[in-house]
Structure 1
Amino acid sequence: MSDNKKIAEELIEAVGGTDNIQSVTHCATRLRFIIQDEDKVEKEKVEDIDKVKGAFFNSGQYQVIFGTGLVNRIYEEVAKFDLKTASKDEQKQEAAEQNGNRLQRAIRTFGDVFVPIIPVLVATGLFMGLRGLFVQEKILAFFGLTPEDIPADLLLYTEILTDTAFIFLPALVAWSTFKVFGGTPIIGIVLGLMLVSPSLPNAWGVAEGADPIMFFGFIPVVGYQGAVLPAFIAGIIGAKLEKSIRKRVPEALDLILTPFLTLLVMSILALFAIGPVFHTVENYILDIVLALLELPFGLAGLILGFLNQIIVITGVHHIFNLLEIQLLENLGENPFNAIVTSAIAAQGGAALAVGLKTKNKKLKALAMPSSVSAFLGITEPAIFGVNLRYGKPFLMALIGGAAGGFVASITNLAGTGMSITVIPGTLLYLNEQIFLYLLVNIIGIAVAFGLTWMFGYSDEKQLKE
């Protein structure tokens, strides 16, 4: 064994092993580690390793001094241990994220969970935009067709394209959360699928008036299709529970007992505690929104335009389906859709500003398609991948949503249907309201874009914070 390889092995062991190393890079004289748990680093042992000239923590990095030339050779040996390597800029960003306050770290962790899911949500947004061509009478009329001319099998296929990712979103969220928090991802998938089991009443059905299952006579249990926060919370608790159980069961029984106990405990918590809490929250939100819609002077649009995407984060926004149905039945129009479309468009505007302003290629590649998805009515990629992850863009988007919602409210803008917004939503405003509808969306986008560009994001500040 070469001396450099031996040094690399001793160094990795002294800093807590490969599991304790998030990434490694080097400069002219030092190896620079991002460490998972600083307490696992045996500092004296590191400094006693041959050829190590010193070691210290600085700016979120554990820096080990070897000197010019030698550091390159040691780095080559360390990198062979299948560690994540990073450029100095990437590691500086990673260190900055670790050193942020608790709220900043929590928000970034939320973003980390959603980044792997974003591509399918973007694709779903595109599919939903295309599906509008097959279901809207006025679009079909341009081609001399009616909805009856579209084959039922084709409509079924479009539903598969547009509904699958959101029906099973809890499974995707739980899978990614387990992965981020150190659990077994396949257990997360199964736990998430339990939340959308076909044995439970569908979330959208309950939102439209169907009854939940009342376990033990008082616990309302429903499916959580499209829900975010219940699956996220269950994923965090489940991953920590799994690791705790694994430490305590004998190795010979680990394969059987750990997943069994994790899924048993978490299914009970998710379905009978976490889920019902959010079901109750949904009912309160419905009552509050109905009361807000009665406010005069554009206040309804101002408040709901600001709050809408905050509610989307919780995953309890399905209850708005019932609200929109009630509005259409009682009023023959849907003013709620006109308000929230600006909130959705504003998230796209903020993500677009980040995408155009940043020089980070990875962030640009994420932000630009996420903004397109928002303009097609799906904000999850923009919220969780970009805006909420960096904090200020999300706030600027909320302000943009409030501005557009205010205009929608004072002008009495109202849609003729429900469930589609922004670009696809134009199909609900072809009754001489189209220009006002476009104005409301443009206001939401422009305010969010402008505020984000000026105050909401910069690469330089992001590296420092």
Structure 2
Amino acid sequence: MSDENRKIAEELIEAIGGQENIDSVAHCATRLRVMVKDKEKIDQKRVEDLDKVKGAFYNAGQFQVIFGTGTVNRIHEQVIALGAPESTKSEQKEETKKQGNSIQRLLRTFGDIFVPIIPVLVATGLFMGLRGLITQPELLALFGATPDSISDNFLLYTEVLTDTAFAFLPALIAWSAFRVFGGSPVIGIVLGLMLVNPALPNAYAVGSGDADPLFFLGFIPVVGYQGSVLPAFIAGFLGAKLEKWLRQRVPESLDLILTPFLTLLIMITAALFLVGPIFSLVETWIMAGTRVVLELPLGISGLIVGGLHQVIVITGVHHIFNLFEIQLLAENDLNPFNALITAGIAAQGGAALAVGLKTSSKKLKALALPSSVSAFLGITEPAIFGVNLRYIKPFVMGLIGGAAGGFFAALFNLQASGMAITVIPGSLLYIYDLPSLALYVITNVIAISVAFILTWMFGFSDKMKEEMDGK
């Protein structure tokens, strides 16, 4: 096995343009990431034809080769053993930050900040789903119980599991923003906690009319920022910049005392009286616009989001949607966006499955079938870049399937209890309500079936493959 991987690594290096064209190599869960000096020297078709390669593409200074989980680690070891310079993902991130236009760099920054906090939000969504499941009257009736049979202490315990992450969401965001922008993360945590200090009127209570904001100088409303995203993000960004500025000017002997003191004093004042009110309003406008799209009648929102989401994934700027999903969950514990993007993801898996079952090429079959399974687990890169986009029509049929599934989900206002997991794993976000789980299954079946049938009938043939591959 190691000899085979070494041979693949040797051929890969040659196809990329040789050792002299490689600046550094790193890897993530599924992809080998190569920083190259001249992308024109890359023979992409030769790379894609290598054994175990599921796709390849160039994005923001990196040539990314998809191998899949486990395999990528072994190929990376062989590439490094052959003399390619190694770098960490963080070092490559620093390099890629300098590349791309300003919008791409901004959206990458959003991803760097929000992606690290997604795992705890996923866990929270699963907790919400499980709580909804075990408190359903139909399920309790099977054990001769009713919702009134559940003790208040147990419900309080479940609230600890489901409410904590969103109650302290600004602390998570401020921590991550400080980390990304070069500040001290612990200062970010404290600044975020100050934004939700119990001494401030609770944002949810103010919103429901059960509490009144504090007014400073008679006209500046001050409330807590439970569930807010943008105020914490901006406060974290400005706080990190302020801390770095102060450290360059405060004498070293006083740095330990003065820098954290001044950073927190200045930033909590600015956050409560200026940044918070302004960006809370901006956040309200953004969410209002998002809701306009999500609430379009007759399933139109599903057609748009389900049909176009995977196009946006190709550009690499889809992390911006994390902001919307986090805010949707913070506002009402439910996320209608998840079901729509799930349809788009499942459909690409359906298109790749059709290609894998229809082709007579053993290599393409060995690539397409595992790629479809990966998509059904929520990861579409192998299916998109390795199969569907290569032959174009399967990708288009996948978009149509995503639109069909999204249309159904939007028509029934299907909503998840969390975010970030989709298709088969995503079913855990819908177990809070059995009818919702059934609708979720139907959404995926529609998306996969439409994409599969259209790809089988109109989107792929071996003749098309030969023409596209130039054989």
Q: For each residue in 1:64-116, what CA deviation from the matched residue of structure 2 results, as whole angstroms up to 9, or x when unmatched?
A: xxxxxxxxxxxxxxxxxxxxx97269599544454333333332332223344
Unmatched 5+ stretches in structure 2: 1-17, 26-35, 39-60, 63-83, 310-317, 354-372, 380-388, 390-395, 420-425, 454-458, 460-471
The amino acid across from 2:441 in the alignment is L
Counterpart position of 1:438? 441
For residue 248 of structure 1, give the secondary structure of its aligned residue in structure 2: coil
Matched pairs, number: 329
- Rounded to whole Å, the distance in 1 between the matches of 2:348 and 2:172 is 22
Q: For each residue in 1:34-76, what CA deviation from the matched residue of structure 2 results, as whole angstroms up to 9, or x when unmatched?
A: 9xxxxxxxxxxxxxxxxxxxxxx95789xxxxxxxxxxxxxxx
The amino acid across from 1:438 in the alignment is V
Quote the offset at 1:183 in angstroms. 0.9
Q: Is the 8 A contact 2:170 2:193 kept in 1?
A: yes
Asked whether 1:313 is paired with 2:313, we answer no
Q: For each residue in 1:188-241, what CA deviation from the matched residue of structure 2 results, as whole angstroms up to 9, or x when unmatched?
A: 111000111112233333444445514234333332223333212211110001
Quote the offset at 1:257 in angstroms. 2.0
Q: For each residue in 1:384-422, what CA deviation from the matched residue of structure 2 results, as whole angstroms up to 9, or x when unmatched?
A: xxxxxxxx9xxx999998754533455xx257x996796
Q: Is the 8 A contact 1:341 1:441 kept in 2?
A: no
Change (3 A) 1:87 1:243: same
For residue 328 of structure 2, give the secondary structure of its aligned residue in structure 1: coil
Q: For each residue in 1:399-449, what CA deviation from the matched residue of structure 2 results, as whole angstroms up to 9, or x when unmatched?
A: 998754533455xx257x99679644355463xx86545323555788999
Alignment of 1:43-122 (within 5 A): 58=37, 87=86, 94=93, 95-96=95-96, 98-122=98-122
The amino acid across from 1:317 in the alignment is L
The amino acid across from 1:313 in the alignment is L
For residue 199 of structure 2, give the secondary structure of its aligned residue in structure 1: coil
The amino acid across from 1:183 in the alignment is G
What TM-score comes out, normalization by structure 1 length? 0.55
- Rounded to whole Å, the distance in 2 between the matches of 1:351 and 1:370 is 7
Quote the offset at 1:171 in angstroms. 0.9
Alignment of 1:45-444 (within 5 A): 58=37, 87=86, 94=93, 95-96=95-96, 98-216=98-216, 217-281=218-282, 284=285, 296-299=297-300, 302=303, 313=323, 316-317=327-328, 321=332, 340=337, 342-343=339-340, 345=342, 404-410=405-411, 413=412, 423=427, 424-425=429-430, 427-428=432-433, 430=435, 435-440=438-443
- Rounded to whole Å, the distance in 2 between the matches of 1:291 and 1:136 is 31
- Rounded to whole Å, the distance in 2 between the matches of 1:131 and 1:296 is 31
Q: Is the 8 A contact 1:289 1:304 kept in 2?
A: no
- Rounded to whole Å, the distance in 2 between the matches of 1:401 and 1:234 is 37
What TM-score comes out, normalization by structure 2 length? 0.54
Change (3 A) 1:117 1:399: farther
Quote the offset at 1:267 in angstroms. 0.9
- Rounded to whole Å, the distance in 1 between the matches of 2:407 and 2:148 is 38
Quote the offset at 1:318 in angstroms. 6.4
Quote the offset at 1:123 in angstroms. 2.7
For residue 117 of structure 1, give the secondary structure of its aligned residue in structure 2: helix
Quote the offset at 1:187 in angstroms. 0.9
Deviates more, 1:255-264 or 1:113-122: 113-122
Please give the root-mean-square deviation of Cα atoms over the aligned residues, in Å: 5.1
Q: Is the 8 A contact 1:346 1:448 kept in 2?
A: no
For residue 225 of structure 2, give the secondary structure of its aligned residue in structure 1: coil
- Rounded to whole Å, the distance in 2 between the matches of 1:161 and 1:425 is 17
Quote the offset at 1:30 in angstroms. 12
- Rounded to whole Å, the distance in 1 between the matches of 2:267 and 2:247 is 15
Of all paired residues, the percent bearing the same amino acid is 52
- Rounded to whole Å, the distance in 2 between the matches of 1:370 and 1:229 is 31
Quote the offset at 1:270 in angstroms. 1.7
- Rounded to whole Å, the distance in 2 between the matches of 1:214 and 1:301 is 41
